[in-house]
Structure formats: C-alpha cells, structure tokens
Amino acid sequence: AQKITQTQPGMFVQEKEAVTLDCTYDTSDPSYGLFWYKQPSSGEMIFLIYQGSYDQQNATEGRYSLNFQKARKSANLVISASQLGDSAMYFCAMSDQTGANNLFFGTGTRLTVIP
Amino acid sequence: EAEVAQSPRYKITEKSQAVAFWCDPISGHATLYWYRQILGQGPELLVQFQDESVVDDSQLPKDRFSAERLKGVDSTLKIQPAELGDSAMYLCASSFGTSGGSVISETQYFGPGTRLLVL
C-alpha cells in the first residue's frame, strides 16, 4: 500500500528566503508519480509540480523545485524566494501508475511566510 | 483558463437530511474524482469515474453515499441521510486519463470544493 509522510506540521520562513518542505513515501510499485499541491485558506487544491519515478532530472516549475531522492524515497519541495502569498497548506501526494492513478495524500505542512 | 466547477461552495444541513454536490470537470477530461477532506487531514478518494463508468468506489460508504456521471461529463455526489461525521470538504478533481507516466495524463486538477457542515 502507498503511504506518504509529511513530518512537519508547520514551517516558518522569512520573506525572500528559500524553504524546504519534507516528504517521504513508501511503495512497492516501480512506477509512480509524485505531486505537490498548495491549498490556501479558500480550500482549493492548486497543482504545483510533478515528478515521475523514472524521470532522471529533478522537476522545476518557476520558484518550485522537487528534490527527488529515489533511493531514500523522498520528494522534498523547495520554494525559492518566498512570498507572502506562499502562506498555505502544502500537500505531497503519490499516484499509483500501475493502478487506477488514485492520489494518496500526506497530512500536509502549513507554511507561514513572515514579512 | 479551464477550471473544475463545483457547487454549492458551502452547505449547512441537519443530520438525516439529504445533500447533493455537483461537479463539472475541465472539458476533455475523461477521468473524474471525488475526494473527502476532513479538517486537518489530506484528501481521501471516495470515487473515481472513467467517462461514465465507476473505476474505483471502494472507499465510498455505499449505504449513504452515491455518485453518478450519467453522460460522462458532469457528476453528482449525494449523501442520504447525512450524519455529523460527514462534515468535511468535498473536492472534485479531473484529469485527462488514468494511464500513468506523464504529467499531462496524470495530473489531477481540483475544483474549489464544497464545505459541508452537518448539524
């Protein structure tokens, strides 16, 4: 069974600084996808970045990058140059590419950007 | 920009009443998902449709929950009767398909959600 672990319930970062949000996963499937979503207080889940298990390079999307360490089963999100609007809940999720592509989510990390 | 639409955004009901939520996925997305998110937790899948067919409803409490996607486009999730423990955010998401291996086919896009409060 797939499992996602986010060990940081809350994180603080100074505006314009970089921050790393941790995510570890557990699966026996060789093929899977890893996602990060942002959930502001309004409630919608906003897709940020994707990493496939066979991708050789770490994914990047603007200020977001995913530090993928396959042997350690970790997929940490790095946000560079934090902005006040980055304050939100962040969820790591994994899809099972051998099955129905369901997403399994972690418990999330609440990021607060300090001016 | 294409978005997943959901309504209502908020719903307050009394226990034992019936409630229904509606979702319209991004045009062209064959796969539609309903998730439930309890406060302080990540979303959990309730049901997944591929076009009009149910792919996975193993976590749907079928004694009180039902879901349909009759024409393979929009979808309705119903709870009857509602219980206090059903208070949660109900999120709808859609994706191009279920076959894995690419960000295009796999990525699920979420709607704004429906916040349900059962009194």
pLDDT at B1 over 70: no
- Which pLDDT does position A101 carry in this prediction? 73
Q: Best of B29, B94, B110, B114 to disrupt the A interface by mutation (most A CBs within 10 Å)?
A: B110
What string of DSSP letters covers B86-100? G-EEEEEEEES-S--
Percent of chain A residues past pLDDT 70, beyond the cut: 96
Model confidence at A102, in pLDDT bands (50, 70, 90)?
A: confident
Nearest to A44 among B31, B42, B111 (CB): B111
Contacts of A51 (CB under 8 A, 6+ apart): A33, A34, A35, A58, A59, A66, A68, A75
Render pLDDT for A45-93 as a digit per residue (tens, 0 to 9): 999 999 999 988 999 999 999 999 999 999 999 999 999 999 999 999 9
β pairing state of B44-50 and B31-37? antiparallel
Q: Does B43 touch chain A (CB under 8 A)?
A: yes
Q: Best of A25, A55, A98, A101 to disrupt the B interface by mutation (most B CBs within 10 Å)?
A: A101
**Nearest chain B alpha carbon to A4:** B42
Render pLDDT for B12-68 as a digit per residue (tens, 0 to 9): 999 999 999 999 999 999 999 999 999 999 999 999 999 999 999 999 999 999 999
Give the number of A-B residue pairs with CB atoms closer than 8 Å.
Answer: 77
Question: Token match 């449709």: residue?
Answer: B49
d(CA A65, CA A62): 8
Q: Does A96 touch chain B (CB under 8 A)?
A: yes
- Which pLDDT does position A97 carry in this prediction? 64
Query: With b meaning 16 or more CB within 10 Å and e meaning fewer, what string describes B39-52?
Result: eeebbbbbbbbbee
Strand arrangement, sheet containing B75-79 = B5-7, B19-24, B75-79, B65-68
In order of A11, A26, A29, B107, B114, the CA distances from A95 in angstroms are 25, 11, 10, 9, 24
- Which pLDDT does position A60 carry in this prediction? 97
CB-based contact B6:B114 (threshold 8 Å): yes
- Residue A47, classified by CB atoms within 10 Å of its CB into exposed (0-12), middle (13-18) or buried (19+), is middle
- Which pLDDT does position A29 carry in this prediction? 85
Contacts of B42 (CB under 8 A, 6+ apart): A4, A91, A93, A105, A106, A107, A108
CA-CA-CA-CA dihedral for B26, A99, A95, B37, to nearest 10: 70
Q: How far is A3 from chain B (nearest CA, A)?
A: 12
Nearest to A43 among B89, B102, B103 (CB): B89
Q: Does A56 touch chain B (CB under 8 A)?
A: no
